[in-house]
A = this chain, B = another copy of it.
Amino acid sequence: MEPEVGDVIILRKGEISYEGIVIPSPKKDSIIIKLSNGYNIGFRRDSVKIINVEKKQKPKIFSEVKFEKRNDIPEISLISTGGTIASRVDYETGGVRWLMKPEEIFFMAPELSDITTFRNISSPFQIASESMTFECYKILAKEAAKELNSGSKGIIITHGTDTLHYTSSALSFMLQNLSKPVCLVGAQRSPDRGSFDGSMNLICASYVAGHSDIGEAVIVMHGEMDDTYCNVLRGTKVRKMHSTRRDTFRPINTSPLAKVFMNGKIEKLSDYRIRNDENEVYPDIEMEERTAIIKAYPNFNPEILDYYIDKGYKGLVIEASALGHVPTDTINEKFSWVNSIKRAREEDIIIVFATQCLFGRVDPFVYSNGRIMEEMGVIYAEDMLPETAYLKLSWILGHTNEYFEVKRNMLDNMVGEINYRIKGDKSGL
């Protein structure tokens, strides 16, 4: 009997048997099954023998969600935006679908209702995080500000992990005068897997949002491969560093702000902006869209920069090598960046250099080619991540494009995105 999507089957390839649920395959001559460990594995249909077929697993039924407001625990708000944490596998189609209602999140972590109560649960959009745009950041900033200014003690934003750190960085700049915790939370493993990390991340985030003295936009995710604790990571100094590990989010050029344990214990690890519930937050959401990140690499043809100039881009963040280098003195003149950078500066395009090493800082004054770039007006972004520099530059250019004003703002440490004193062993590497 030919298996259909949703069937639980056992198949054999050579000497090895595999058991799993059939999920849709893009190709007719192949078959993909989801193993019990959550991984998918694909085979050429004619390379395997089907041993057993158990017809379609029934989709799990979520009963209606109820949650009651309580007065004895802090009131926070939840914004759901999609991503693995807000998904479940639909065995009817084999695909991942978003939660129908954001309230379904309580099925993953029923403990939440004893830690915080929810002023509001909203879902302005549901998308995979790789599809986030500046438009999404603006919606989130406005929604978070509205909730915080209406009495919420903190915000949890559930979000795909792919670009969680770009969003945390964007919100750090947009949420001016923020003095309450805005916690971005995702999951690296889907809810149907034993290793699902979303529950613990949500529980830890609700302690941070409702009970901590942190007044910043942060990411709250697993701190280790085991379920020991979550890290609270500054939104501007964090990066997804592994495609699948649960402890993928790492502090870059800094320490975590705190550890949070499942019993609610919060262990402070470094300085942060302290909560002040009296402050109003002001969503300052203007962003320049004509900005880009460009990586420098050997044999890069600087003509590529001319494309951006011709297209009217206003700001470019270059992922330069090490201390902030690009070719100036080459064995073949066509690879030198000097003329393209010069042209960009003549057309008032802001050029920012950050290090593609990720860890450490840029410094134009160690080697002569750095000095050449600095003299032409390139802004060296200290120890900022390229991703953070991109969002900060886009945000600043949303407000001004006067060079000295942009430079002053880029090098101003607005929300902890610059760390002037990184100790090698505290850099996170």
**A contact set with B: CB distance below 8 Å:** 26-27, 32, 40, 42, 95-96, 125, 127-137, 161-163, 166-167, 170, 225, 240-245, 248, 250, 289, 291-301, 303-304, 307, 311, 319-332, 335, 355, 357-363, 365-369, 371, 374-375, 387, 390, 394, 424-425, 427, 429
Contacts and interface: CB of A to CB of B under 8 A. Distances in A.
11 contacts: A26-B375, A128-B329, A130-B298, A130-B322, A130-B326, A136-B331, A170-B298, A243-B362, A245-B429, A248-B360, A289-B299
Contacts of A301: 292
A367 B96 contact: yes
A130 B299 contact: no
State how many copies of this chain the complex holds. Answer: 2
A248 to B, nearest CB: 7
Given A133-B298, A133-B330, 20 more contacts: A40-B365, A96-B367, A96-B368, A127-B329, A127-B330, A130-B296, A130-B326, A131-B327, A134-B299, A163-B298, A225-B424, A241-B358, A242-B424, A243-B361, A245-B429, A248-B357, A289-B299, A292-B304, A293-B295, A304-B307
A331 B131 contact: yes
Nearest to A311: B303
A225 B298 CA distance: 27
Given A162-B325, A367-B96, A359 B292 contact: no
Given A96-B367, A387-B297, A327 B130 contact: yes
A125 B331 contact: yes
Contacts of A368: 95-96
A215 to B, nearest CB: 25
A191 to B, nearest CB: 14
Nearest to A23: B365
A331 B299 contact: no
A129 B329 CA distance: 10
Nearest to A134: B299
A162 B370 CA distance: 13
B355 A243 contact: yes
B322 A127 contact: no
B128 A429 contact: no
A327 B128 CA distance: 8
A369 B130 contact: yes
A363 B326 CA distance: 32
B360 A243 contact: yes
Contacts of A163: 297-298, 321
A129 to B, nearest CB: 8
A427 B357 CA distance: 17
Contacts of A292: 300-301, 304
A329 B132 CA distance: 10
Given A245-B359, A390-B297, A131 B330 contact: yes
B322 A134 contact: no
A166 B298 contact: yes
Contacts of A357: 240-243, 248
A300 B391 CA distance: 12
Nearest to A321: B162
A236 to B, nearest CB: 15
